[in-house]
Structure 1
C-alpha cells in the first residue's frame, strides 16, 4: 500500500459519514395524517366495488359515489408507500444485514393477512358462490368466481403472485416488487435533484409500458407504477422545501385543501373524461400521471398537517385498519351480497333496489371494518411486532 493509497482511504472514510447522513427530508416522525388517509382510500376502493357489483344505477350520484375512485386510491397507495418506506429506510446504507432485515419486515407486514384473506376468499368461492345467482349483480363482475380455479392458481394466489382468489391482490404484487426496489430508490433519491431524475426516468418507463407486449415478467404492467413510489420520495423533498410556506397557511386551509384534493383525486377520471380524455384502461400512463400529481400534492399537504390532525386518534385507528380493509373487503362484499340474496330473495331485493343498495353498502362497510379490527388485533399487529423483532436481531441491534 502506497502513501497515496492511505490518503485515498482516509479521504473515503471522511466522506462516508456525509454520504450516509440521514437526508433532512426523510428525517420525520410517524406521519399520522398519511397513515389515516390510507384508510380512507381503502374505504374508497370498497365503495367503488359496491357500485361495480350492482347491475343497476344506484348510489352513483350520492355522496358515496363521490368517494368511489378505487383506481385512483390505488395510485395514492403507491405514492404513500414511497413516502412512508423512504422514511423507514432513512438510515439505509446498502448493507446486506440491513437489506435482509428490511425484507423480513416487509414480508411480515404483507404476507400474513394476504394468506388469511386468500383463505377467506377460497372459502367463499367453494361454499357460498355456487349457491348464489342474481340479476341484480353485474355479470362480468360477480362472475369473477364462476371460473374454475386450478390448484396452481390457488397456490399462486396465496403467494400474492396472481389475483384469482382476491382481485385486489394484483396491487399487492406491484407493492411486493416495489418493496424489493425501494432500497435502491431511496439510495438513488437522497437529494431533491436525484429524486427528480429518478421520478422522470420512471415516468418514461411508465409511458413506454404502453408499447410493451403482454408478458409474465411484466405482470399487471408493474413497471408502469414504479413512478408512483419514486414520486412519494420526491414528495418528502418537496414537503421540506415548502414547509415554511405551508406553516404560514391558516389551520382551515391546511385541513380543507387536502379534503378538496382527495375529492379531486377520487373523481379525477370523470373530470378527465369531461375534459375529453378517455381512460385507456389498466396502467394508462396519462391517467396515472394525473393521479400521481394530485397524490403528491396531497401527500405534501398531509406531511405538514396541523398537529391536531397529525395525532388524530380516529385517523390512527383507520390507518391501522387500512391494509385489512383493502384485502378483506372484496370477499366480504361478495359474502354479504350472497347472504342478502339467500336471506331475502332476488324478487324482494329487486322490488326495493335503492334500499338494497344502501343496505349492502352499509353492511359490507361495517362487516369489513369489524373484520379488519379483528385482523389488526390478532394477526397484523402481532406479526408486525414479530417481524420487527426478527429484523432487529438480523441487523444486530439487539
Structure 2
C-alpha cells in the first residue's frame, strides 16, 4: 500500500533525500564552519552536481545542502543591493522551469540552476541584515506552517480532483476551453489543498509529533538504563580499608 501511495504521490520520493542529507548535514555543517575545509566542501558538492551521475541517485542535491550550510560563514559581498538581488532571484525561481523547458535543459541541470539561484536569494536575505516584511505577514506564516502538509497532500488531491472537474465540465468543454478548465482545476485544487493541509496540521501532525517525543523519551530512558546496567555501586568496588 505504501508503495502504491509513493507511486501516486510523486513528492514523497524526496523523503529519502531528506533523510539521507539530514543524517549527513551535521558533518556538512562542521566542514562549512572550518575556514579551510569550507572551500574543499564547496568544491566537492559542486563536483557531485557536475559529474554525470544519474539523477535517480540524488547526489547533486549535496550542492544545496553544502551551499546552505556555508551561507552564515561566507563573507559579505561588499555594497551589493541585497534585497533587490534577493527579490530578483525569488522571481527567477518562480519562472525558472519555463525557460528550462523551452531550451530543452534536462531536469538535473535545471535543478542545479535552481539551487544556485536559491543560494543567491538566501545569501542576500541573510547578509542584508534586514528581513523582508512581506514574508513576515500572517498569510505567509500560515502557508509556512502548513507547507509540509501541502507538499505531501497536493498531488493525491490533484489526482482525485482532476476527473471530478473534467466530469463537471464535460470532456467536450474541457477540450474546447483547456485554459479555462485548467484555471478552474487550479483554483479548486489550491483551495482544497490548503483546507485539507490546515486540518492535517491541526489534527494529524501534533499527535504524531507527541508520539515521536514519547518514543524518543522512552528510548532515551531505556538507553540510559542500559548504560548503567552492570555497574556496581560505588562502595562495592572500594578496596577494604584497615578498619574493615
Q: Which runs of 5+ in 2 are unaligned?
A: 222-244
- Which residue is 1:225 aligned to? 61
Deviation track 1:300-349 (CA, whole Å, cap 9, x = no partner) reads 23334427346432222111111111111111112111111233321233
Alignment of 1:172-183 (within 5 A): 172-183=15-26
Verify the 8 A CA contact 1:166 1:331 in the aligned structure 2.
yes
Quote the Cα distance in structure 1 between the aligned partners of 2:34 and 2:2.
42
TM-score by length of 1: 0.48
Higher helix residue share: 2
- Which residue is 1:88 aligned to? none
Verify the 8 A CA contact 2:149 2:197 in the aligned structure 1.
yes
- Which residue is 2:88 aligned to? 260
Verify the 8 A CA contact 1:332 1:364 in the aligned structure 2.
yes
Verify the 8 A CA contact 1:174 1:220 in the aligned structure 2.
no
For CA contacts below 8 A with separation 6 or more, give which structure has more relative contact order: 1
SS in 2 for 1:189: helix
Deviation track 1:41-81 (CA, whole Å, cap 9, x = no partner) reads xxxxxxxxxxxxxxxxxxxxxxxxxxxxxxxxxxxxxxxxx
Instruction: Find the partner of 1:321 among 146, 149, 162.
Output: 146
* Higher Cα Rg, which structure: 2
Cα separation, partners in 2 of 1:347 and 1:268, compared to 1, 3 Å? closer
Correspondence 1:186 to 2:15 = no
Quote the Cα distance in structure 2 between the aligned partners of 1:374 and 1:173.
25
Quote the Cα distance in structure 2 between the aligned partners of 1:202 and 1:325.
29
Instruction: Find the partner of 2:125 among 302, 305, 317.
Output: 302
- Which residue is 1:332 aligned to? 157
Once the two structures are TM-superposed, the CA of residue 231 in structure 1 deviates from its matched residue by: 1.0
Quote the Cα distance in structure 2 between the aligned partners of 1:203 and 1:288.
13
- Which residue is 2:105 aligned to? 279
TM-score by length of 2: 0.75
State the superposition RMSD in angstroms. 3.1
Quote the Cα distance in structure 2 between the aligned partners of 1:307 and 1:341.
40
Cα separation, partners in 2 of 1:389 and 1:300, compared to 1, 3 Å? farther
SS in 2 for 1:306: coil
Correspondence 1:242 to 2:76 = yes
Cα separation, partners in 2 of 1:273 and 1:365, compared to 1, 3 Å? closer
Correspondence 1:373 to 2:198 = yes
Once the two structures are TM-superposed, the CA of residue 206 in structure 1 deviates from its matched residue by: 2.3
Q: Kindly tell me the number of residue pairs found equivalent between the two proteins.
A: 219
